[in-house]
Amino acid sequence: MAAETWRLVLYVGDGPTSRAALEIARRLCAERLNGRFTCDVIDINQNPGMAHKHNILAVPTLVRELPLPVKRLVGYISDLDVLARALDIK
């Protein structure tokens, strides 16, 4: 059976919580998803249309697009285990 592939999208701004969210998302992918992921980072300051198009009201917002169902996490999460549980990463 093939390993499940994850698709994450992280919407960030230029503040410290966005920088911290980027770091924790990178750790999550490296330590828990073992190459079974794509993770796009969208800076809403550089691309505000994407935030509007995807109804992003606050940053950081991490969206798990795959596997379904879609999940959204808004705000700063500093604990890798809490983030993994919130996204249902075993």
Give the per-residue pLDDT at 90: 80
CB-neighbour burial class of residue 39 (10 A; exposed 0-12, middle 13-18, buried 19+) = middle
**CATH numeric code, 6-86:** 3.40.30.10
pLDDT tens digits in sequence order for the chain, 90 residues long: 456 899 999 999 999 999 999 999 999 999 999 889 999 999 999 999 999 999 999 999 999 999 999 999 999 888 999 999 999 998
* Contact between 64 and 84 (Cβ < 8 Å): no
Predicted pLDDT of residue 78: 86
Compute, in degrees rounded to 10, the torsion defined by CA atoms 42, 73, 33, 23. 60
Give the start-to-end residue ranges of the domains of the chain.
6-86
Which SS3 state, helix, strand or coil, does residue 68 take?
coil
Q: Rounded CA gap, 51 and 64, in Å? A: 15
pLDDT given at position 35: 87
